[in-house]
Chains A and B, each alone.
Chain A
């Protein structure tokens, strides 16, 4: 069951006038009174021009600064802050307004508009994404979304044979007042598995994905036990209906993402019904117990700043069961959608020219972990037949946009694929396809060993050995174990500092042979970081 914040008095207790540190808003965030004067669990709304754009609590989102507190803008919002807005800061559940005023963000004098491509106002949802939330939709648009969720649920029940029900925010809204929660942005459904072993649950989820695809739905796997179904809407937009696996394993009830706690099967089955926006849905047998399990005992109190605070051991267990192909992905998604990506050099790495001098002109190169595509573009410009790839969707989007710009400039475009070394399925199918192509294929992987968690390396060696059967070599560049604990250009995050001898031994166990190995500094300097680098050229047994 998720841990909840403790209760404490309201911010402000009566009026804002007696506070020693008044609230104000600027480019950095919301400057609030000091911790002693602020209730850390009170959800506070930020409105631009009367539209709610975000909600926070100082307990979750604030940090002490001087005699007051700073609630910094979340990155997805910060990048859009350029212009002038009429800003209001007000407690979500009633109370005195804490700040009202015109604020100029960045350098623009234009009115700041947080809208999507067709002009719908946006706000930050619970997943930290700028979305069109339900409080910004008219009744007809809300009904479209809810009916879409119902169509998906019907197919899960009738075509996939699953016991499906309304879950998460949709269930909460239905039980509270029959309406979608204003600060929510999607309608979620779940199924309760008849199985109690993870392997059977994975098979069940995949069978449902296949069935839905066969019916014409667009389905995206989010983990081995939950997926998203994209539903086209009459407006021409599309809505994502998330489908979550739920199951009993051992004594515990689980719902993907990472909910784990005690809830008897009788609290879920047999289903009752609830009504959401006038549409009837199957619902857990004991909805109150189910919502207390999901959101904690204060589930009745509206909280737009709600965050799940799963115990780390729950998240770890659920990640190991279902998210084995998504290790470190959240970091890379955030990186490739943040301003940090602009600090990546646009020109090629030194490694690219090292490799270019070792392979036949015009030969086929597959880059794994191509990121922004900087090396793939350069290799393409040198006349190589390059395909880029990355397991991170945000990186692929960025690289494809770069490739489209290049095409307009008359340069060679590069194709970027989703290849994931953590997915055996992905490795085997892409590896087999590549092996089937005639002629040698070289694999280029710069800083991929650093990015991969150790359990993903067998997938990398398997892929490289399949690609290398027709004579192509594998080129690796990675930071060695000598760099552990040293500062890095992009700051600390999960990295693997591999021992070159260990890498060579792993390669040998997959039939590879290191035919050249270079180690030292000045091979990949970036800013003040000049790491100890290992480069390897590997050939494979045919």
Chain B
């Protein structure tokens, strides 16, 4: 007679195995998504800093041109 532990393992593999594997895959996917989402805060802040730093001197130099550029940007976003 096979040991009870082994039988239980086989039953688990047969019935719950695919579901466990699917859950493990989903957890791994969620971890990647959470990491991407957490990193996004700093990356977005970086881009915002660059935009602000470029915009301010740009505004000082050529107001009319910048307004046109911003107008164009407004239509496409």
The residues of A with any CB-CB pair to B shorter than 8 Å are 197-199, 202-203, 206, 224, 317, 320-322, 324-325, 423-426, 428-429, 455
CB <8 Å contact, B38 and A320? yes
CB <8 Å contact, B50 and A428? yes
Complex Cα spacing A198 to B44, Å: 11
Residues of chain A within 8 A of B6, CB atoms compared: none
Residues of chain A within 8 A of B44, CB atoms compared: 199
Q: Which residue of B is nearest A429, CB measured?
A: B50
CB <8 Å contact, B41 and A321? yes
Q: Is B45 an interface residue (CB 8 A)?
A: yes
Contact of A206 among B35, B39, B43, B45 (CB under 8 A): B45
Given A424-B50, A428-B50, A429-B50, decide whether A224 and B45 contact each other with a Cβ distance below 8 A.
Answer: yes
Q: Is B47 an interface residue (CB 8 A)?
A: yes
Q: Which residue of B is nearest A459, CB measured?
A: B43
CB <8 Å contact, B43 and A324? yes
Complex Cα spacing A317 to B50, Å: 26
Residues of chain B within 8 A of A325, CB atoms compared: 42
Closest 7 CB pairs of A and B: A424-B46, A320-B38, A425-B46, A198-B41, A199-B41, A202-B45, A324-B39
- Secondary structure at the B interface, as helix, strand, loop or mixed, is helix
Residues of chain B within 8 A of A324, CB atoms compared: 38-39, 42-43
CB <8 Å contact, B46 and A428? yes
Q: Is B24 an interface residue (CB 8 A)?
A: no
CB <8 Å contact, B43 and A424? yes
Contact of B45 among A199, A426, A429 (CB under 8 A): A199
CB <8 Å contact, A320 and B39? yes
Q: Is B29 an interface residue (CB 8 A)?
A: no
Residues of chain A within 8 A of B36, CB atoms compared: 455
Q: Is B22 an interface residue (CB 8 A)?
A: no
Q: Is B49 an interface residue (CB 8 A)?
A: yes
Complex Cα spacing A322 to B42, Å: 7
Q: Which residue of A is nearest B34, CB measured?
A: A320
Residues of chain B within 8 A of A198, CB atoms compared: 38, 41
Known: A198-B38, A199-B41, A424-B43. 20 other contacts (CB 8 A): A198-B41, A202-B42, A224-B42, A224-B45, A320-B35, A320-B39, A321-B38, A321-B41, A321-B42, A322-B42, A324-B39, A324-B42, A324-B43, A425-B47, A425-B49, A426-B46, A428-B47, A429-B50, A455-B35, A455-B39
